[in-house]
Structure 1
Amino acid sequence: MEKYKSIDHQLRATWQAVAKMYNEQALTHNSTMATAFVLLNIDKINGTPSTALGPLMGMEPTSLSRILKNMEDKGAICREKNPDDGRSVIIKLTEYGKEMRAVSKGHVIQFNETVIQNVSQKDLEGFFNVTSKINKLISDKEIYKETSNKAV
C-alpha cells in the first residue's frame, strides 16, 4: 500500500501538521501546545484533581508532572490540598493561567472556525463519523484480534 493512501499515514501527517501549527502559536506566548492542552483541561472555576488530569488527557504521569512543574514555575497554576482527599491536590489556574487559557481557547476556536468555513458540513460529518468508528474499532480491540509475536 502506498503510504499516501494509508489511513494511519494521513491521520499522523495531519496531526503532526496541527501540532506544529499549535506549537508555533504557543511559542509566540512563550508556551507549548502541551501546556495549552493542560490549561484547557483544568476546570477554570474549581480546579481539577491532579490525579484526574492525566487520564482526562491521555497523558502519562511523568510527562504531566513535568508540564505541571513548568506551569507552576511560570505562575500559570497553583496546587491546593484536595478537601475531599488529603492525599491528592487540586490544580487551579492563577489569574495568569486563566488569561493563557483564554488565549489557548481562542486559538482552538479560530482553528475550528477556519476549518468549518472551508470544509462542507457533509465532509465534516463524514470526518467525525470515520474518526469515531476508528476509535471504536481500536477500543473494542477489533484491529488486531490475535496477539502475535511477529515483527512489524
Structure 2
Amino acid sequence: MPAALPLDDQLCFSLYATSMAINRAYKPMLDRLGITYPQYLVLHALWEEDGRTVGAIADRLALESSTVTPLVKRLEAAGFVTRERNPDDERQVQVRLTDRGAAMREQCGCLAEELLDRAGMSGEQLGALNRQVQALWQALRDSRG
C-alpha cells in the first residue's frame, strides 16, 4: 500500500487551508457588518436572484435545505430578509431581501478588494485560479455515480 502524500502535496488540503484563510480574511469585515460567512453566502445568492426558495438557495450554495433554514432565520431576525410560504405550494418558503439586506451588497464589495490586497495576486490571476477550481468542482459533481 503506498504511503499517503504529505499534506502540502494534497490538493484537497491546499483547497481546505485556502478556504479557511479566506474565511479568516473576511471575518473582521463580516463581524463589523454583523453577519457570518455562511450568512454572507445566503445574501449573495439573493443578490443574484431575489425571491429564491430555501431549496433554491441550498442548491445554489451546494448545501442541504436543513443547513440553509437556520441561516435564513437568523438573517430574518437581523432584518436582512423576509420569509413567506409560497401560496401555490405551502412546502416552499420564499426568501426576499429587505431594504437593509439589499443595501448590504454595497458594503460587502470591499471583501473582494481585501482578498486581492492580501493575496498579492492580480484580479486576472485570481480569476484564472477560480475558473480552474470551478472546472474541478464541476468535474467532481459530474462524475458522481
TM-score for the superposition, normalised by structure 1: 0.74
Corresponding residue SS for 1:37: helix
Moved over 6 A (4+): none
Deviations 1:108-150 (A, max 9, x none): 44246547973384x54652453244224412438xx9xxxxx
Aligned 1:52-91 pairs, distance under 5 A: 52-82=56-86, 84-91=88-95
Matched, 1:38 2:42: yes
- Cα deviation for residue 7 of structure 1 reads 1.3
Q: 1:18 aligns with which of 22, 32, 35?
A: 22
Higher CA-based Rg? 1
Residue in structure 2 matched with residue 119 of structure 1 by the alignment = 122
Q: 1:107 aligns with which of 105, 110, 132?
A: 110
Report % sequence identity. Answer: 21
Consecutive unaligned residues in structure 1, runs of 5 or more:
146-152
Contact 1:72 1:78 in 2 (8 A): yes
Corresponding residue SS for 1:56: helix
CA distance in 1, matches of 2:47, 2:38: 16
For the aligned residues, what is the CA RMSD? Answer: 2.9
CA distance in 2, matches of 1:135, 1:95: 34
Deviations 1:17-67 (A, max 9, x none): 001222222111221111111111114775222221111111222221111
Corresponding residue SS for 2:35: coil
Inter-CA distance 49–117: structure 2 relative to 1 (3 Å threshold):
same
Consecutive unaligned residues in structure 2, runs of 5 or more:
none
Amino acid in the other structure paired with 1:52: A
Residue in structure 1 matched with residue 141 of structure 2 by the alignment = 139
Contact 1:82 1:88 in 2 (8 A): yes
Corresponding residue SS for 1:80: strand
